[in-house]
Amino acid sequence: MANSPVISAKNVWKLFGPNPKRYLAQMPEGHSFDAIRADGYIAGVKDVSIDVGRGEMLVIMGLSGSGKSTLVRCLSRLHDITGGTIDVDGQDIMSLSEKELIELRRSKMGMVFQSFGLLPHRTVLENVAFPLEMRGQDRHERRERALEVVKLVGLEGREEYFPRELSGGQQQRVGIARSLAIEPDIWFLDEPFSALDPLIRREMQDEFLRLQEMLGKTIVFITHDFDEALRLADRIAIMKDGAVEQCDTPDKIVMNPATEYVRKFTEEIDKARVVTAGAIMQPVNGAMPEGNGVRSNTSLRDLAKILVNDSRENLPVTGQDGDITGVLNRQVALDVLFEAD
């Protein structure tokens, strides 16, 4: 990445057991997840190295027990790690005192979890203002900021409602507003929409994408839903047994799975929905194709009509600025579209 990462995790371990640091120091290199478990320990996070760039949305996926929630709790130091390092904005968070850690969370980190955790006897506005109250902010200032983020998440007019008077989707919006109230640079979200019904979940994803476009936060988002990951992610990290099997853009993960586990994890995905013209374009070699081009960020599914009806062997591919960045071979694209061998 061009910019230095906001979060940088290097060789991070989180072991659960009687004496994890001592065990890790003596553990043979390459010890498997099952071998570690046979020794009486659980590898919640197993030798993970991952960076998150500024303004990036990294989605972490995996089956239940794969380590995704444990990893996020390590990145925010809700768990102390057993080995490795985690830097946030160049600062080793394991070296921070409790006071410094609290200040880091209060000033830079927002967290949203699956359980809304709202205070039942406080109104929407009071719930949203609560972290500002904990920070010791002036009553008038925190009310103004709370009103601002309540409007941002689409709950204007419901400021005096109590949580019990809200739908599940509205309660989740309050949770999101509460985490946004402190204006975090980094946002951790652990399956925030999984308790919602599909229609509300889709609406919340749309709202979330709108907020991200406006605010440009650095986001680590956990989900077990591949469709949700594909809608939201700049990159996806797929975990198994505490380790990251692959971390890459959605189209590269679907087109070039790094392991058999990732291949099986993604085999039901309609590749044409994920793969874009830019992902399979080739360099311009020789004469530039004439005629209209296609945008590099358009999925092959959305280009289906053009690909079927356009007889050109190669189609020009343009970037956001309209300049040609490569060519799309029509037959290669059709093979992906129809999943030809």
Please say whether the beta carbons of 136 and 118 come within 8 A.
no
Q: Output the pLDDT for position 116.
A: 65
Q: Quick one: 171 and 290 in the same domain?
A: no
| Token pair belonging to 78 | 């809700």
Rounded to whole angstroms, what are the CA distances from 42 to 25, 293, 301?
Answer: 15, 52, 42
| Residues whose CB is less than 8 angstroms from the CB of residue 297 and which lie 6 or more positions away in sequence, other chains included | 276, 277, 278, 320
Q: Quick one: 214 and 287 in the same domain?
A: no
Please say whether the beta carbons of 69 and 190 come within 8 A.
yes
Q: Quick one: 305 and 203 in the same domain?
A: no
| Token pair belonging to 258 | 């790094």
Q: Quick one: 129 and 118 in the same domain?
A: yes
Q: Is residue 214 part of a domain?
A: yes
Inter-axis angle of helices 198-215 and 168-180, nearest 10? 20
Q: Output the pLDDT for position 3.
A: 65
- For residue 287, count CB atoms less than 10 angstroms from its CB and return exposed for 0-12, middle for 13-18, buried for 19 or more: exposed
- Report pLDDT digits (tens) over 59-69: 999 988 999 99
- For residue 157, count CB atoms less than 10 angstroms from its CB and return exposed for 0-12, middle for 13-18, buried for 19 or more: exposed
Q: Output the pLDDT for position 193.
A: 83
Q: How many CB atoms neighbour CB 138 within 10 A? A: 9
Where among 234, 254, 270 does a domain terminate?
270
**CATH number of the domain encompassing residue 132:** 3.40.50.300
Amino acid sitting at position 311: S
Q: Quick one: 157 and 251 in the same domain?
A: yes
Q: Report the number of distinct structural domains present in the chain.
A: 2
Q: Is residue 84 part of a domain?
A: no
Distance CA 171, CA 66 (A): 28
Beta bridge mates, 222:
60, 190
Q: Output the pLDDT for position 241.
A: 96
- Report pLDDT digits (tens) over 248-272: 999 899 989 999 999 998 888 888 8
Distance CA 242, CA 210 (A): 32
Q: Is residue 166 part of a domain?
A: yes
The DSSP 8-state label assigned to residue 163 in this structure reads: G
Please list the ranges in the chain whose pLDDT falls under 70. Answer: 1-3, 114-116, 286-287, 340-341
Distance CA 270, CA 137 (A): 49
Q: Is residue 37 part of a domain?
A: no
CA dihedral of 273, 274, 278, 280, whole degrees rounded to 10: -90
3-class DSSP state for residue 282? strand
Q: Quick one: 255 and 276 in the same domain?
A: no
| Residues whose CB is less than 8 angstroms from the CB of residue 77 and which lie 6 or more positions away in sequence, other chains included | 86, 93, 94, 96, 101
**Neighbour-count burial for 290-315, b at 16+ CB within 10 Å, e otherwise:** eeebbbbebbbbebeebbeeeeeebb
Structural domain harbouring 256:
54-74+97-270
| Residues whose CB is less than 8 angstroms from the CB of residue 154 and which lie 6 or more positions away in sequence, other chains included | 173, 207
Q: Quick one: 286 and 171 in the same domain?
A: no
Which residue in 215, 207, 258 sits closest to 236, CA to CA?
258
